Amino acid sequence: MSDNSTISQNPISFDQIDSFAKGTSVFPAAKAIRRAVTQNGIEKATNDNQAAVEAQNVFSVEVKTGQVSDQKSSGRCWMFAALNTMRHRTSDLFNISDKFQLSQSYTFFWDKLEKANYFYNNVVKTADLPLDDRKVAYLLQTPQQDGGQWDMICAIIEKYGLVPQSVFPETYDTSHSFAFNRVFNRKLRRDAVELRELAQQKDNQAELSEKIKEFNSDNYRLLSLSFGDPASVAQFDFEYRDQDNNYHLEKNLTPKSFFAKFIDQDLEDYVSIINAPTDDKPYGKTYTIENLGNVVGGRQVKHLNLKLDQFKQAAINQLKDGQSVWFGVDMGPQVDRQTGIMSLKNFAVSDTFGIDIDLTKAQQLDYGDSMMTHAMVLTGVDLDEQGKPLRWKVENSWGDKAGKKGYFIMSDDWMSLYAYQVVVNKKYLSEDLQKAQTQVPKVLDPWDPMGALA
């Protein structure tokens, strides 16, 4: 390791500041740029309508969908995206109205309860480490949150099933989760104080288990009084009209029998594919993340890292077969939320300010500039004559006011740089890749960018 202690410091001098000011004053159109940016902000002042010209709302491959959903003021995009792919299937199988929704608050309830228990188990596991250990500090920083991963929603559904939104509707706190999370995380940290002290005493597993049971009982009550009680849908009736206005009534369903009949998917067939071109993650290998999950003993978060062309082709294969695709992106850079255009040409920042801010995808990940922050659904792709993608159609979960009635258009070069994950049925992978996906995964640090929650 090199010793940098002898490197001289480089303070900014006033002579340098004079030079900086003079350089800015002669920068081409400096006064006009300053007026535009100070009055409108960087994005409006640098917006390039060429992105809109290229974002034609036409796709050679497109999946039938319906009205978009709205996660409102909550971080449930990963959950909404997964349930959207499933309701597409339900609509196809049963000709149900495009307004049909699966209950996002039902899965939200169980995810919160299970995440709290997962947190308790990690607190006990790390009880011998000091509070300032990086793993403990990372754990306590956010005991639980709204975000999640594809494998985590599968773990919830496999254990608890699904119900229609009509029988388990949204509440204020499911749609506006900030205040709930503040209260819940404070409670979990308070519980962690007691669990760490008990765990450090050793030889008291029965007492620890009883204490966790007590805490989980409190958590159930808090969730039930805020989100609604899932005991109310332990058995339920489901009535609906199909798109031909025919009436249907299904009686005495359970959440698991509803899933078996109305979604009928083997979730084990669906696997997570990532594109992470960093040196620490060779392609063709699988990865998991330490301490990341929700259901203790449930499905493990697992990713297969593939080259970009393989990553895209898997999604294209599934779309061609009429199935939408769950996918995860960094939804911050170069996204015009009003028009719904995701394009590297949206905002001409470098040209406007005369600065170079380009990074490769690997550099973005290695230097903390980007990670997955949002999950949505791919519902279409426009292919050129050689079968290469030009742009993609995206179903978002921000309601119908954003984008084109809730749908976004993503340029292929934007996808190349900012899309990190797709979930596909493994049958759309080659035999070699299916075999690679079965490998025992390498365990990554809890703070690895591939552990980011959408």
The residue to which tokens 């071109």 are assigned: 277
Classify residue 330 by its DSSP letter.
-
Residue with tokens 């960018």: 449
Query: Contact 370/333 with Cβ under 8 angstroms?
Result: yes
Residues facing 86 on adjacent strands: none
Please say if 396 is a catalytic residue: yes
Residue 55, C-beta contacts closer than 8 angstroms, at least 6 positions apart: 339, 341, 343, 391, 409, 411
Contact criterion met (CB below 8 Å) for 324 and 84 = yes
CB 157 within 8 A of CB 231: no
What's the CA gap between 50 and 245, in Å, rounded?
44
The yes-or-no answer on residue 181 being catalytic is no
- Which two structure tokens, joined as six digits, stand for 355? 């600065």
How many H helices and E strands in the chain? 17, 14
- Whole-angstrom distance, CA of residue 179 vs CA of residue 314: 39
Q: Residue 123: helix, strand or coil by DSSP?
A: helix
Cα angle vertex 385, ends 54, 380, to 5°? 55
The active-site residue, picked from 77, 84, 88, 219, is: 77
Q: Any catalytic annotation for residue 185?
A: no
Q: Are 174 and 74 in contact (CB under 8 A)?
A: yes
Token pair 């490998």 in the structure block, residue: 439
Question: In the chain, what is the straight-line distance between the N-terminal and C-terminal CA atoms, in Å?
Answer: 36
Pick the catalytic residue from 204, 275, 396, 425. Answer: 396
| Among 47, 117, 346, 374, the one annotated catalytic | 374
Tokens, residue 268: 């084990």
Written as one letter, the residue type at 312 is K
Q: Is 216 within 8 Å of 117 (Cβ atoms)?
A: yes
Residues that are catalytic: 77, 374, 396
